[in-house]
Chain A
Amino acid sequence: MSNVIQASQLTLAYDNGEKEIIKDANFSIKKGEFVFITGPSGSGKSTLLKALYGQLRPTAGSLIIGGNDLSNIRRNKLQELRTHMGIIFQDYKLVNEWTVSKNVVLPLMIAGYSSEIQETQARRLLKHVKLSEYGERYPLELSGGEQQRVGVARALSKNPVVILADEPTGNLDDYSSNVIWDLMENACQQLDTTVLVVTHKIPTIFSLPYRHFIIESKGVYEVH
C-alpha cells in the first residue's frame, strides 16, 4: 500500500524557527491505516496536526501528503488538498450562525456541489451520526457530544482521503466519546480512509488494529 503521509527529517517550529517543537521526525502512514499520536501536554501533538493540514509550514525537512510537499506547497494547491481532508477539532469549530445541515455540507459547498446534492448528503450524514432531527437547529442548541457528531459528519461529507482529528473526545463524557470512536472506526473500515488521531489517551474500547506514535523530547517515535 502507498504512503498517504510521509515525514522526513521534519522540523516544526514557531517564532520564525526559534521555538522548535518537533525536530528531525521521520514517519509514514499508509492508506486506510488508523493511527494514534499521543504525548504529554505541550509535546507538539496539535502542532503536528496543524502542519498536516497546512496551517503551519515545516521549518526543515519534508512533509508529504497525497504527493504534495507541504513545506513548499502553493496556496491554491493547499486549498485544493484541504478539500480531500476531513478535520475534527476538540472544540468542534462549527459555524454557530449556520444550521447543523449547513455545517455538515461545508466541504461539499466548497467543492461546488449543487444544493440538491448538499441536501441529500446532509440528510444521509445526519442519519449516519444519529442526528436526523437536528438538521435545522443551530450548533449552540446541541450538547457537546452532539456537536462533535456534527463535526464528524462534516469531516466525512466528501469521503476524504485522510481524516485528521485533534483530541476529538477531549471535552466529551464516556458515552459520547464511544459514539465518536465508533463513527471514526467505521469510516476507516468502510471508506478505507486514513485516520490520524491526536489524543492524550487511547480509548480502551478500540477494536481496530492501529499504529501508535508518541511525541517525546521533540521526536516522533512509533510504539510497538
Chain B
Amino acid sequence: MKFIKNHLMFILPLMAILLGVEFYLVFERTTNSYEKTLTEGYSMLVVSKKPVKLETFQKLNQHIITSTQIERSNIVSEVVKGISKSNSEAILKALPYFYNLGLNSYLHTNALGQIKKDLEADKNIKKVETFGSSYNSSYRLFAFIKLTLKVFIIFMAVVSLFLIIKQMEIWKYAHKERMRVMEIFGAPLMLRSGVLFRVAFVDAIFATIFVSGIFFYIKFYWAVQSGIDIMMQNKEELFQVADIGILFGSAIAIVIVAVYSVVFSNKGVQE
C-alpha cells in the first residue's frame, strides 16, 4: 500500500504537468486550425479606380496573399435592367474596380487598421472596407479563450511542481541514509542515485501512458460523441502519435531535475 502511495504521489503531479503540456499542444493545434478557417473565411473589400494586380497589393502590405476581382458586370446587371445598352456600358465604364483580399493569418484589429492605411496610401484605391466590428468581437473572444487556457495550464503546472517538490523531500528523507552509506563506501553518484532514477523512470513511463490513454479516449470516443463542432472537425489534432514522444521527453526532463535535486542535496564532504 505504502509502495503504491509513494508512486502515486509522484505520478499524479507528473500527470497533471503532462496533461497541461498535452492540453497546450492540442489547444495550439486546434486553435491554429480554427484560426486558419477564420482567416480563409475573412476578406477585405477594396475599391479602386484602376485595375490592381496582386503584386501591387502585396507591395503595399505583405499580409495580403490573395486578391479576387469582383465581376463588375455582375454588380451592374440588376441596376441596368430596362436601360439601353449604351447607357449600361457608360455605367459599367464609370464603375470602379472591386477586389476581395485574403490575408495570410488571423490578425489583430490594429494590424487590420495598418493594412487599411497602407492600401489607402495608394492614390488609385478609393475605399477599403475591413468589416472591423464583427471581426474585432470574434478576435477578442478568441484571444480571451486562448489566454484563459494558457493561464490555467501555467497555474496547474506550478501547483503540480510544488507537489513534486514535496514528494522529492519525502524521497530525500527516505533515501538519505542509504545514499549516505553508499557514499561513505565510495559509491559514485550514478550508483547512489540508481534506485531513484529507476523509480522515477518507471513513474515517468506510467504517467506518459496514463496521459496518452486519456487523450486517446478523448480523440476516439469522447470527441465523436461530444457534438462539439470544433472537436469533431479537428479530431485529428486532438492527439498525435508524436505527442507520446513529447510527453515522455517532458516527463524524463522533470524526472532528471527531480532526482538530481535529491542527489545533490545529499552531498557529503564538509569543508
Contacts and interface: CB of A to CB of B under 8 A. Distances in A.
Interface of A: 14, 16, 50, 53-57, 75-76, 78-83, 85, 87, 93-98, 106-107, 109-110, 154
Nearest to A110: B187
Given A14-B270, A55-B269, A76 B177 contact: no
B271 A107 contact: no
Q: Which 5 A-B pairs have the closest CB atoms?
A: A82-B186, A83-B186, A79-B186, A110-B187, A95-B178
Nearest to B179: A95
**B182, B184, B188, B191 pick with most chain A CB within 10 angstroms:** B184
Contact of A93 (B181, B269, B271): B181
A139 to B, nearest CB: 11
The size class of the interface chain B forms with chain A is 10 to 19
Interface string B241-271: 0000000000000000000000000001111
B185 interface: yes
A56 B270 contact: yes
5 contacts: A79-B188, A82-B186, A83-B186, A93-B180, A110-B182
Contacts of A107: 185-186
B268 A55 contact: yes
A57 B180 CA distance: 17
Contact of B184 (A14, A53, A75): A53
B182 A106 contact: yes
A198 B52 CA distance: 98
A106 to B, nearest CB: 6
A96 B174 CA distance: 11
B57 to A, nearest CB: 67
Given A81-B186, A110-B187, A110-B191, A57 B181 contact: no
Contacts of A95: 177-178, 181-182
B185 A82 contact: yes
Interface string B169-210: 000000001101110111110010000000000000000000
Contacts of A76: 188
Contacts of A50: 270
Nearest to B174: A97
Interface of B: 177-178, 180-182, 184-188, 191, 268-271
Contacts of B187: 79, 106, 110
A82 B183 CA distance: 9
B271 A57 contact: yes
A79 B184 CA distance: 8
Given A95-B178, A97-B178, A110-B191, A87 B269 contact: no
Contacts of A82: 184-186
Given A95-B181, A110-B182, A110-B186, 17 more contacts: A50-B270, A55-B268, A56-B269, A57-B271, A78-B269, A79-B186, A79-B187, A79-B188, A80-B186, A85-B185, A93-B180, A93-B184, A95-B178, A96-B177, A106-B182, A107-B186, A110-B191
B183 to A, nearest CB: 8
Given A16-B271, A56-B270, A57-B270, A83 B185 contact: yes
Contacts of B191: 109-110
Nearest to B192: A110
Contacts of A55: 184, 268-270
A152 B268 CA distance: 23
A79 B180 CA distance: 13
A81 B270 CA distance: 17
B270 A106 contact: no
B175 to A, nearest CB: 9
Nearest to A70: B269
A174 B240 CA distance: 70
Nearest to B195: A97
Contacts of B185: 82-83, 85, 87, 106-107, 110, 154
A56 B185 CA distance: 15
A76 B187 CA distance: 10
Contacts of A85: 185-186
